[in-house]
Structure 1
């Protein structure tokens, strides 16, 4: 099982002979760190300018400003690259092809940011031929930076990562999020999955409100497994590479290959993902 269906390099292959994954990663790290002070300044502001994208889905002026800075910086440095960003993309419309594409979530965990709950992060991934080859996740409050390159491993503040080897739910800490679906069906579906896992004597369940940070926490062994429905490519792109480079798997909850546009994900080590996959329900469209 792999995190995405690999495609052969085509017309973009020549670009990688001139620009290494490491160079792309360094640029992502630099711009992520550069927006840290702006995020922290507004994090402590109780009077944030907040808008609603949905009934409970928030966006702030900081999200928009941070994404604008990241896009301008990266596309100026790499004019041949495209952008798939949370605040610049219409919901459900992913303009994402084989071209080198930066996949950006300026603040993953906006609700946490608004309420001054310290778990949120900047997530920047790079895909080439729809394969994630670079990932960077930066937590300004925790001062943690997760990095990964295809074939180069994944790291937290320079320390190499490895997923856990947990094999049973009795040993596992599983994470998920409640998402934004407040329909009767959506709530019942979420609760039925929680019940199925809890009835198997799972050691504990965590909800942090940020998929990118939770997946990075799977990569570094803080969590054993994570699953969620309703996510977007920018929530999981960078972190998916971190997990696979740390020896884990990123799959569809059904157990098959994950689709970045599929709005659902399951990740962890291969054994625990197989266990959890058998317990999760199949969501109706």
Structure 2
């Protein structure tokens, strides 16, 4: 995609709440994709949000994949923070494989408050707000509630490393779950959409080593509000910056998967 000064997000509009802002941006991002425009998340947010005061802008932070690729530090502070992946499923997007999403999450005091994920090709808008439920195009989402691994569809992603040792561990983890009688293991090329499938009940669990905070932030809120569980691969509480996760429809399922996995070390987002 080429950089351009054209942005589909209106320069002026009604003052929006934080959830309204994130939804408006998610709805406009696909226009960039369809027309080949470059999407700058911070610029888009600035255009669709009428900041209440100059000091208000200073207290809001952005963590985004493109910024991290340019060397920006991924540090989650107590300040209100947008956590953004403007294209999740980049390889799919390049090959026109129709599993591509926009993911936008929002955290305050290091707590995830709400998230929006837009499935661009199917025009499905997944939303979740802490204490307010999870929805897809306005329809309430609920996880499957499955506790039996032999009846579970488990989703995962390969991760960015391709060295022989890492690939061996990745395949070993899949083998361990299949030996434990998981009904199936699938890779779809988009961690955010895989997590949305979990929230909707189409899948029962998800695990990955090597995903980033911008892949996980919005989806975590959606899954929790749909009744699911999101934890660290160690079985402990989720660490958003640890580049690893197990999510499932029930705690029993999450622990079964966590106990079966061998750790693949990808470091931490806040140490890169």
Same fold (TM over 0.5): yes
Q: Separation in 2 of the partners of 1:72 and 1:239?
A: 23
Superposed displacement of residue 282, structure 1: 2.5
Which of 50, 64, 70 is the aligned partner of 2:44? 70
Q: Separation in 2 of the partners of 1:232 and 1:72?
A: 24
Q: Which residue in the other structure is 1:261 paired with?
A: 241
More RCO (CA 8 Å, sep 6+):
1
Superposed displacement of residue 200, structure 1: 1.9
Could you report, residue by residue, the CA deviation over 1:46-104 in whole angstroms, capped at 9, with x for unpaired residues? xxxxxxxxxxxxxxxx5x52435434336654624211111012468313200000000
Unaligned 5+ runs, structure 1: 1-21, 43-61
Q: Which residue in the other structure is 1:28 paired with?
A: 22
Q: Which residue in the other structure is 1:152 paired with?
A: 132
List 4+ stretches of structure 1 deviating above 4 A.
Answer: none
Superposed displacement of residue 247, structure 1: 1.0
Superposed displacement of residue 213, structure 1: 0.9
The answer to whether 1:272 aligns with 2:253 is yes
8 Å contact from structure 2 (residues 142, 199) kept in 1: yes
Q: Which residue in the other structure is 1:236 paired with?
A: 216
The answer to whether 1:37 aligns with 2:31 is yes
Superposed displacement of residue 201, structure 1: 2.1
Q: Separation in 2 of the partners of 1:223 and 1:69?
A: 35
Q: Separation in 2 of the partners of 1:182 and 1:191?
A: 12
Q: Which residue in the other structure is 1:13 paired with?
A: none
Q: Separation in 1 of the partners of 2:45 and 2:219?
A: 19
CA distance 1:172–1:105, change in 2 (3 Å): same
Could you report, residue by residue, the CA deviation over 1:17-53 in whole angstroms, capped at 9, with x for unpaired residues? xxxxx921121111111122221233xxxxxxxxxxx
3-state DSSP of counterpart to 1:278: helix
The answer to whether 1:128 aligns with 2:108 is yes
Unaligned 5+ runs, structure 2: 1-15, 268-272
CA distance 1:87–1:75, change in 2 (3 Å): farther
Count residues with an aligned counterpart.
244
Of 80-89 and 108-117, the range deviating more from structure 2: 80-89
CA RMSD of aligned residues (A): 1.8
Of 147-156 and 197-206, the range deviating more from structure 2: 197-206
Q: Separation in 1 of the partners of 2:260 and 2:48?
A: 41
Of 73-82 and 91-100, the range deviating more from structure 2: 73-82
8 Å contact from structure 2 (residues 29, 39) kept in 1: no
The answer to whether 1:185 aligns with 2:144 is no
8 Å contact from structure 2 (residues 81, 106) kept in 1: yes
Of 196-205 and 117-126, the range deviating more from structure 2: 196-205
3-state DSSP of counterpart to 1:87: helix
3-state DSSP of counterpart to 2:218: helix
Q: Separation in 1 of the partners of 2:190 and 2:45?
A: 21
The answer to whether 1:86 aligns with 2:60 is no
8 Å contact from structure 2 (residues 21, 45) kept in 1: no
